[in-house]
Amino acid sequence: MPGAELPLSPYRVLDLTLEDGHLCGRTLADLGAEVIKIEPPAGDPSRFRGPFYENIPDPERSFTFWFQNLNKRGITLDINTVKGQQLLRRLAKSSDVIIESYPTGFMDSLGLGEEGLCLENSGLIVASISGFGRSGPHSGYHSPDIVVQAMGGLMYVTGDDDRPPLRIMPPQGYAHGAMEAAVGVMYALIHKGRTGQGQQVEASAQQAVLWSLMNATGMWDLNQVNVRREGALRGGVFGQPRKRLNWPCKDGFVTVTVVGSAAASTGNSTQNLVSWMIEEGFAQDFLAYYDFEAVDWADLAAEEYDLVIKPFHDFFNSKTKAELFEGALKRRIILYPVSTMTDHGRNMQLKDRKFFVKVAHPELGTEIIYPAPAVVFGGERLPVRRRPPLLGEHNREVYVQDLGISGDDLAEMAEESVI
């Protein structure tokens, strides 16, 4: 990205979301928008969610808050007070986007719904993120992450079939919903760029989660088959015997689909794997002549399948994840390690692409490692411009310098717990 200007540099965003919406503002901030995170005076709830730096629970040490609020400035404001509402209206006048994720109807009840806010700024984009949308039979439902993952269909297909459906942590439902809102805000900004007009953006986390089900929704629609969770195996959707996807190895697991049919579109992956096994003496004779391309694995009898996969098990168990992946890279085998979070620190690709960056946290006297923004834009990764805000860190900057409120008034508002 040439120069200091980023694509969204001219835009100001007020981020009123709770932890179910933070990623929306984070994405806009990464693209260059000036995002102001507005927290209640007691702090955003996600400051109290772990994991915490050095395992010390503290609102200024939450990785959850940090990650989702990188590149934002932060102020405190109690929008339940009349003064707080007035201040928000003043901020909204000079802003392009407001993002919120309060329970449906809450902003309206304070006179801060899009109608109230847009009255004085017709260019304002108001984005609302909720579990189910702002109208309809479930719009008033409580929607913590596990409820969204359940109702969106993701839990049913995650985990093992002899266990309850499983939720994935960190919260996926929140992330899906917040990112769809970010996409919606971008479209609204394009429209605003052309016409000057704002509009309302409404994201449903349930619908966003539904998008992660791949072809499972279509399986029901076209074939009346319900996709279920299948543990470390896959492929039993139509009642066939399941085939292994995640294989144990010396120090963990690797993922590889041991099939060769054209339909699997794995090129010569399996043949290349078998050649490697032959070189190392792991393939019995029959495997050398086994025609992976000709076999329809969906219909393979269980006995034959067990016979064929035994040498693969033995081979994987003789090597580590790293050894297997290194071989896969050299031999063009579609095999990947089942990574833990710790593995990312050793990932040479991420290292080469400078994906992890150290960000100074002077008040802790240290640097913290962050995953950088995902996008490389014009040959340069979108930058980390500032560490996440301390609670109320930019109150003076925003209220006094930007809004022109006097220092005395600021002190008074602090006294009254408005900020």
Binding string to another protein for residues 107 to 146, with x set by CB under 8 A, is what? -------------------------xx-xxxxxxxxxx-x
Instruction: Name 200's Cβ contacts closer than 8 Å, sequence gap at least 6.
Output: 114, 125, 126, 127, 128
Smaller CB separation from another protein, 335 or 405: 335
Residue 207 has φ and ψ, to the nearest 5°, of -65, -35
Among 190, 288, 302, 390, indicate the residue that binds another protein (CB under 8 A).
190
Among 82, 119, 374, 411, indicate the residue that binds another protein (CB under 8 A).
374
Instruction: Give the whole-angstrom CA distance, residue 418 versus residue 416.
Output: 5
Residue corresponding to tokens 């955003």:
44
DSSP 39-91: E-TT--GGGGSS-BGGG---TTSBHHHHHHHTT-EEEE--TTSHHHHHHHHHH
Using CB under 8 A, which residues numbered 206 to 225 contact another protein?
206-208, 210-225
Among 87, 98, 154, 398, indicate the residue that binds another protein (CB under 8 A).
154
Among 169, 289, 362, 415, indicate the residue that binds another protein (CB under 8 A).
169
Among 42, 82, 360, 375, indicate the residue that binds another protein (CB under 8 A).
375
Smaller CB separation from another protein, 299 or 349: 349
Among 353, 360, 397, 401, indicate the residue that binds another protein (CB under 8 A).
353
What is the token pair recorded at 264?
């699997």
Instruction: Give the whole-angstrom CA distance, residue 96 versus residue 8.
Output: 11
Q: Is 340 in the site for another protein (CB under 8 A)?
A: yes
Smaller CB separation from another protein, 210 or 414: 210
Instruction: Name 309's Cβ contacts closer than 8 Å, sequence gap at least 6.
Output: 244, 258
- Which listed range, 150-158, 273-281, 310-318, 385-393, lies at the site for another protein (CB under 8 A)? 150-158
Shortest CA distance to 69 belongs to which of 412, 418, 385, 411? 385
Three-point CA angle 184, 23, 2, nearest 5°: 80
Q: Is 7 in the site for another protein (CB under 8 A)?
A: yes
Using CB under 8 A, which residues numbered 279 to 318 contact another protein?
none
Shortest CA distance to 18 belongs to which of 122, 136, 145? 145
Using CB under 8 A, which residues numbered 224 to 253 contact another protein?
224-232, 234, 237-239, 245-246, 248, 253
Smaller CB separation from another protein, 204 or 395: 204
